[in-house]
Structure 1
Amino acid sequence: MNAIENIGPQCYHLGEGPHWCQRRQLLFSVDIPGTAVCCYDPSKKSMTKLKIPGESISLIVPIEGQDDEFVISRGRTLSILKWTPGSDDYQIIRDLHEVDASQPKNRLNDGKCDAKGRLWAGTMGPQIEGRPGYVGALEATLYMIDAKGCHVKLTDVELSNGLGWSEDNKTMYFVDSPKRSVDAFDFDLETGDITNRRVFYHLDTDDIPGVPDGLTVDARDNIWLAAFSAGRVLEIDSKTGKLISQVEVPSNLTTSVTFGGKSLDELFVTTGRDLGDEKLRGPVDGSLFVLHSVKVQGRPAMDFVKP
């Protein structure tokens, strides 16, 4: 594998939710505490950010068939954003759903669409001070949003994070970060039902520090997992649950990953800064990185089918 490149020096406070738009050849992401949506254009090697005053923004997913419309989160609310990347003008067209009404201190966190364009988005409670990745209460929820509404899919969650699906759409992967594991479910694409939860991979298996964060699934069905506070991305065999390789990242605060580029063979990595143990902090924290020519391909990310 080639060396990793810093393509967005300290562009985030807490970068998350990278989504590669194959039809536009753009990488969208968010800066959660910066309440900003971000767009990296590889053809121009430029990053643009739009700050939307208000609550934290943890996810951005393009809407199918609409170049300048996105679903985003704002605190506990999912909204439709109209925005032309590079412009300072924007419009919140409408709010779709507010979640976790009984937990006003919670917020939405990671989100991703399945093969039918349904948005899966999970929540989290306030993190324990000085321990990013840990909440200490099972008061969060994983939701699925489709044309019929917002559906509770999993309760008793602490901190919802990475999501992904196998190519045959029979397995869904989900991270509840404090568990330090990636869990797998049997997945029914037609109904959206998830059953038979089990541990797919645990960081303890290979003495990996930190907590699991965002993930993506490649064209071979293997999982690429950002290990927060560990400064690395893990490649895990989907058939055996065994660690295949590790990609070292110049920042310990790795948050999420996705494949992009014209051939979907570049691995983008988001990071955060000023978080957790000061001993783990470094000068390039909060940057956007890319690993060129990974020698494996990712799968196109799915857009949101708007209700």
Structure 2
Amino acid sequence: MKLLKTLTLLVVIAIVAANHDQKVEIEQLTAPVEHGEGPFWYDKEQALYWVDISLKDVWRLHPESGNITKCHIDEGEVTVIIPLEEDNTFAVGVGSDLKLLKWDGRNGSEITLSQIVSFGPLPEGGRLNDGKVDSKGRLWIGTIGPEVNDEVELERADLYQVGCNGGSIEATVHVSNVSVSNGIAWSADGAIMYYVDSPTKKIDAFDFEAESGTISNRRTVFDMVPYNISGVPDGMTIDADDNLWIALYGGEGVMVVQPHLERLIKVHTISGAPRVTSVAWGGPNLDILYITTSSRGGGPGGQVYKMTNTGARGNPANIFVMPKCNKE
């Protein structure tokens, strides 16, 4: 029986390795920005949205037409953008607030912003960071502690879920003493939530209960340190085979991990982009990996890339459902 299990594991590894040994192609799509982050493929529009945190811009790329547009938000650093069902309507992280953005995707068009919920007061210099939506439309979004010269004060951030408390929308802490809350992804069956707190250089997992939106049983499923991988884990997505694709900030690459085997599959190098920030599956068949990068602090980077011919594909990203809170 032990031999059979070993042979089965070797076959699985061989199949996965074969799928990822294809000659991937990586292509630059955009000019540099300062701190590109938060890519979201909006399947309904067949368009990619992302943000420039430092310059407070929201960007949109429509690959079929080649059109690239942006809008500017004056109120604070823009950290994440996620659509709602209503056309031209998005949830955006702005400083320490989650706001509702109305934008038709055109250059120079008028935008409107309204408040959804505040996460403040955060530690001075802290802000919202990465966020993802679960299968029930709930937004999970984390913060980052105060930064000085690209160094973050540790354990001064949290991971929140946006929901109802009585008759009002509220952000509730689900994981505390975080340093840089980053990538979030769910397994295909929805039973596991994967999570990145960047300075730990680890990928953690929680048991996830979709109906109640609760997490439990935190454990580490991958540790970068034994593999001597450069950089720290940043944004993250998952493919249809439940492999994690993780941006390496300071590592000039994207690593692919089998979390259920706690195994590294491959690190794809993104030449000329040492600060890779996040990844998202997109395209008509969800088999294009879009990659955001940063040039913050000087040096190369800041472009959006696409990676094709990976042998993998993703699933449609969930959109945010505004909580309907019953007022007594």
TM-score by length of 2: 0.87
Counterpart residue number, 1:135 = 152
Task: Quote how far apart the aligned CAs of 1:147 are.
Answer: 4.5
What amino acid is the match of 2:153?
Answer: G
User: Contact (CA 8 Å) 1:100, 1:140: kept in 2 or not?
Assistant: no
CA distance in 1 between counterparts of 2:123 and 2:134 reads 26
Q: How does 1:3-82 map to 2 (within 5 A)?
A: 3-10=25-32, 12-64=33-85, 66-82=86-102
Counterpart residue number, 1:262 = 284
CA distance in 2 between counterparts of 1:6 and 1:46 reads 15
SS of 2:313's partner is coil
Counterpart residue number, 1:113 = 133
What amino acid is the match of 2:128?
Answer: L
User: Contact (CA 8 Å) 2:124, 2:146: kept in 1 or not?
Assistant: no
From 101, 108, 111, the equivalent of 2:121 is 101
From 138, 152, 163, the equivalent of 2:184 is 163
From 311, 319, 328, the equivalent of 1:295 is 311
SS of 1:103's partner is coil
Q: State the structure with more CA Rg.
A: 2
Task: Quote how far apart the aligned CAs of 1:200 are.
Answer: 1.4
Counterpart residue number, 2:10 = none
CA distance in 2 between counterparts of 1:78 and 1:103 reads 17
Task: Quote how far apart the aligned CAs of 1:90 are.
Answer: 3.5
CA distance in 1 between counterparts of 2:243 and 2:154 reads 31
Counterpart residue number, 1:225 = 246
What amino acid is the match of 2:277?
Answer: T
Q: How does 1:210-289 map to 2 (within 5 A)?
A: 210-250=231-271, 251-275=273-297, 281-282=299-300, 285-289=301-305
Task: Quote how far apart the aligned CAs of 1:92 are.
Answer: 3.2
TM-score by length of 1: 0.93
Over the aligned positions, Cα root-mean-square deviation in angstroms equals 1.4
User: Contact (CA 8 Å) 1:30, 1:60: kept in 2 or not?
Assistant: yes
Instruction: Quickly say closer, same or farther: Cα 1:205–1:190, change in 2 above 3 A.
Output: same
What do the CA deviations read for 1:116-166 (whole angstroms, capped 9, x no partner)? 11011100122231xx3x413311111111344322111111111111111
Task: Quote how far apart the aligned CAs of 1:93 are.
Answer: 4.2
Q: Which runs of 5+ in 1 are unaligned?
A: none
User: Contact (CA 8 Å) 1:253, 1:273: kept in 2 or not?
Assistant: yes
Task: Quote how far apart the aligned CAs of 1:299 are.
Answer: 0.9
User: Contact (CA 8 Å) 1:79, 1:92: kept in 2 or not?
Assistant: no
Q: Which runs of 5+ in 2 are unaligned?
A: 1-22, 324-328
User: Contact (CA 8 Å) 2:28, 2:305: kept in 1 or not?
Assistant: yes
Alignment length (residue pairs) = 296
CA distance in 1 between counterparts of 2:160 and 2:137 reads 14
Counterpart residue number, 2:14 = none
CA distance in 2 between counterparts of 1:20 and 1:257 reads 10
What do the CA deviations read for 1:74-109 (whole angstroms, capped 9, x no partner)? 100000000011242343342011114252431000
Q: When you count helix as a share of all residues, which structure comes out higher?
A: 2
Q: How does 1:134-213 map to 2 (within 5 A)?
A: 134-148=151-165, 149=169, 150-213=171-234
The answer to which of 238-247 and 13-22 deviates more is 238-247
User: Contact (CA 8 Å) 2:180, 2:199: kept in 1 or not?
Assistant: yes
What amino acid is the match of 1:76?
Answer: S
Counterpart residue number, 2:105 = 85
Regions of 4+ moved over 4 Å: none
